[in-house]
Chains A and B, each alone.
Chain A
Amino acid sequence: MDVRIEGLSKSFGSNQVLKSLDMTFPERRFVTLLGPSGCGKTTLLRMIAGLERATAGAIYFGGNRVDHLSPGDRNIAMVFQSYALYPTMDVAQNIGYGLKVRGIPKADRAEKVGVVARVLEIGQLLARKPRALSGGQRQRVALGRAMVRKPDIFLMDEPLSNLDAKLRATMRGELKRFHLDLETTSIYVTHDQLEAMTMSDLVAVMDQGVVQQFATPEEVYDRPANLFVAGFIGSPPMNFAEAELGEAAGRPVLRIAGRALPVPPQFDLSGAPSRLTLGIRPQDVRLAAPEAPDAIPGTVWMTELIGSERLIEVEIAPRLRITAEVRSEIRAELNAPAAVAFDMAKLHLFDPGTGRALPRR
């Protein structure tokens, strides 16, 4: 069942959290709402769940308007960040509560709970109370409670953020697997871009109550729609530098730190301002010989080893530093001269006035 929202707004007092959103979450896809805290992603999820009332706008599930329905009448399931297990009930009662409320007979209930518990491998925990469970086990119970009702929409609010790093990596894979098995429309809220990139079919990057870009993970990463998305997605973050649009030998060039780089052919420069913001990911920057034609010389400002790679920050102009991600064998002395070169095919250009990416041909 697809989820469509139209002109959805939400204000808390004078604070506008969501600003007239229009989106469609396609059927059976895994969509992630990604953004920094306070961007409105959790509020949007809670409005889809019916836990929060919209200030304006409409929500449709498969063409039917649902804004007036209470959460229980929307046939959704939700996994909360805190798991929100019922503390006085044991695991079986926790999973079966939604069925009990819907008047499913006890025997059917036990059978369905048993099936879910087997899938989640928590069959031996059914008689335990939540307080006797580990974080990962609670997480599974919360998932089980959501799965057992065969919901139309599966909502998740940062379900992995309370787990340790190792368990989080395991659960990421399992969640994705569950989604594929359940074939349910899933909406997942997170501030962790790794979760968004690894699990989603579509990512909605949100900031300040607005969807900045709604696209596949590849597109969000390779073709960020604006400066916010470009800076938010990717680790380490993208390098930004001011550049002057000019001409040399009849061809457009970008002047940066005294160098003129040819503008890559993929950009449509008609209507572009004369000053641009150039973006390049550290992975697309290499160290170059200073005499190479595309090299931008500078001095090594800082180096950091991050495992198999090393980050080298080169200052190419006062207070303008470019980070290059290189293989860890490559070493650089602090304050030694160095030069960086960009993979021009991977270059991003933005209009600094609007923040939007320059159109591509």
Chain B
Amino acid sequence: MTPKALLGRVALYALLAAVTFLVCFPLVWAFFTSMKPKDEIFLWPPTLWPSTWTLENYRALLQGKDAYFQAGAAGGGQPPPSAFFLDWFLNSVIVTLGTTVISTLVSTLAAYSLTRFRFPGQRAVPYLALVGYMVPSIIFVFPMFLVMADLRLTDTLLSLILGYVCITLPFCMWLMWAFFRGVPIEIEEAALVDGASRLRVFWEIVLPTAWPGIVAAAIFTLIVSWNDYLFGRVFMNSMENLPLTVGVMHFFDGTHVDWGLMMASSVIMTVPMAILFMALQRHLVAGFGAGAVKG
């Protein structure tokens, strides 16, 4: 390796290390903070590595016990916010899975028909869908709230699922549309000639080929609906119906911020997504290979 190439390599690794640090530090900090007892969190100078390791924050979350709010400082007689943590977690899981299933299924079928059947507006739909996604969701949220109110769906998980489907479906459809356009139609014709029915062709030939695209669309939907705050904040009001993102905001009030609970919640929120992403990202790349047709 020439000195110049070596220098370039060193600079590249330095840059990568810097970016990695920037991305990882908040996560690491959140994890360590969640493992510290309350009085160590505010220690000055701060400790990165907890001097005393404790699970008290996690215990408080999972058992619904919380020293400060329990004492009634927040409001008389009400259960503390941490008592709802498991509800919130379950709400987020239900809403996220529901949205992902609906969005992925509908967008896959819609995109397939957009690329394989001729009908008026066939070319315009994917582009219009993309334009729709470019509009910020805050523009949609209040009209949608009114619609949900008319439908008497506010404060239900279904309203969140429908809202997130509206936000994610257009982009997923565009993604799958772009993907299906790259799947040569001859593969399907070959299967038809081989004797398979249309449905069987879709199930056995098209879907496995489109798997990476479906995984990409599903991951996108998962992230959007798991991380959303806006819709949850506007559509929901009962404590037990909130999604996690909105719920954890109850860990601080005008006078008090419970960083220990906040950080423990953050870790619990991050871990499932991180595991899921690591499991799925392999599929994003695998199967993308060409070779079905000339290549």
Interface residues of A (CB under 8 A from B): 49-51, 70-73, 76-78, 80-88, 97-98, 101-102, 129-133, 135, 138, 145, 149, 162
Contact = CB atoms under 8 A, between A and B. Distances in A.
B96 to A, nearest CB: 28
Contacts of A131: 289-292, 295
Contacts of B192: 50-51, 70-72
Nearest to B186: A84
A97 B196 CA distance: 9
A72 B193 contact: yes
A87 B209 contact: yes
Contacts of A49: 189, 193
B287 A88 contact: yes
Interface of B: 184, 186-187, 189-197, 200, 205, 208-209, 211, 287, 289-295
Contact of B194 (A51, A83, A132, A145): A145
Contacts of B186: 80-82, 84
B26 to A, nearest CB: 39
Top 10 A-B pairs ranked by shortest CB distance? A131-B291, A72-B195, A87-B292, A84-B186, A98-B194, A82-B293, A88-B208, A84-B190, A131-B289, A130-B291
B37 to A, nearest CB: 53
Given A98-B195, A102-B195, A162-B294, A86 B190 contact: yes
A120 B154 CA distance: 65
A314 B121 CA distance: 57
B5 to A, nearest CB: 32
Contact of B189 (A84, A85, A102, A145): A84
A86 B205 contact: yes
A296 B187 CA distance: 57
Given A129-B291, A162-B294, A101 B200 contact: yes
Nearest to A83: B293
B91 to A, nearest CB: 37
Given A86-B205, A101-B200, A78 B292 contact: no
A86 B187 contact: yes
B291 A80 contact: no
A77 B193 contact: yes
Contacts of A51: 189, 192-193
Given A87-B187, A87-B209, A88-B209, A72 B194 contact: yes
